[in-house]
Amino acid sequence: MPQTKTALVTGGAGFIGSHMVDVLLDRGMAVRVVDNLSGGHERNLDHHSRNQALSCEWGDIRDLKPDASIFRDVNYIIHFAGIGDIVPSIEQPIDYMSVNVQGTVRVLEGARAANVEKFVYAASSSCYGLADVPTTEDHPIGPQYPYALSKYQGEQAAFHWHEVYGLPVNAIRIFNAYGTRVRTTGAYGAVFGVFLKQKLAGKPFTVVGDGEQSRDFLYASDVARAFLAAAETPISGEVWNLGAGNPQSVNSLVDLIGGEKVHIPKRPGEPDCTWADVTKIQRDLNWAPQIPFEEGVQRMLDDIEVWNDAPLWEPDSIAKATETWFQYLGEDKST
C-alpha cells in the first residue's frame, strides 16, 4: 500500500481553505491546518472533528519558524493564509504587506526546510488590474490597490524561492471564488455576503452601477480541486488563471437570489468584467469546473441562515465604508 501523503493547508479554517481540507481528506491524505482564525472559523472544520487524519494549529504564519513541527514530513504545502478586502488594504497597507508578503516568506522557508514535493501559492487575479478579457496569464500586471500588490509580491517571492532555492512552486491566480463558508463578518466586500444578508433582512440588493458588470464566479470546491491538481502534477514553476471561464452579471445573480434592487454609484478601479482564460489550466492539469453557477448559488441559499449575524449593508453605510476607496482610487487623487 502506498504511503499516505501529508498536506499542510495554511488558512485551512477559512473559506477556500476549508474546502481544500475536504478535498485532501477525501483523497486519503493526512492534513495539517494552520490558521489564526482572523478570517476563518473552527466551525468550518467541525464536520472533520473526529477525523484522526486532521490536525490543527491556531496561530499566525508570521510566527512560524522553518523547523516548526507543523512542516515536518510534509509533502505538499497549499498556501491560502492571508488577508483580503480592498478598503482595509488602502487604510492599513503595512498589515497587508506584512501578512501577505512576509507571512508567505515564512511559509516558503518552512517548505524549503521540509524539502516539500510542491508548494502551491494562492495568487489573485487582482494583480492584473483593469484587464483585457478573457485574461491570459501573460497579461500585463497592474495592481490597483495594496491588497492586489501584496498578493502579487507574495507570488513573486514564491517563484523567487523556486528560482534561487529550487523549491517546486506553482501558483494559481483565483478570479471570483464563491460558495458556502465564505466569511460572514468584517469589512464591506464580496457581493454574495452583502446580498444574502440583505435577502434575510428583506432589504433591496445594493447593485453597483447598472448591474451589467460581470464576474467569473467559480465554486470553492472547484477551486480546491484545481489546487490539488497543481500540487500533484510533476509540473513546477507555472502560474495558471482560475475561473469558470463563464462570467455572470450581477443582475443575473440578483435574478437567481430573487428580490428588489437599488442602485449605488460605480466604484473606481473595478473592472466591468473579470474573465479567466482557462485554456492553460485545462490543458496542463486536465481540470474543468463541475458546479454550475445556478447550483452553486442554490447551495448558498440552502445555507443562508449562517448570515443571520452578518452585518447588514445599506446604501448609506456602504457609502461611508467606501469613502477611502473613492478618495484614493478615483481619478482626482489630489484631495
Torsion angles phi and psi, residue 274, rounded to 5: -110, 135
User: Which residue numbers are catalytic?
Assistant: 147
- The CA distance from 37 to 81, in Å, is 10
Q: Give residue 298's identity as a one-letter amino acid code.
A: Q
Residue with cell 512576509: 102
What residues does 7 pair with on adjacent strands? 31, 76
Q: Which residues contact 192 (CB under 8 A, 6 or more apart)?
A: 178, 182, 253, 300
Closest CA to 33 of 68, 53, 8, 66: 8
- The CA distance from 24 to 316, in Å, is 43
Q: Give residue 83's identity as a one-letter amino acid code.
A: I
Q: How big is the CA angle at 116 (ends 115 and 120), to the nearest 5 degrees? A: 140
DSSP 3-state of 167: coil
- DSSP-derived pairing of the beta strands 76-79 and 118-124: parallel
Q: Give residue 49's identity as a one-letter amino acid code.
A: S
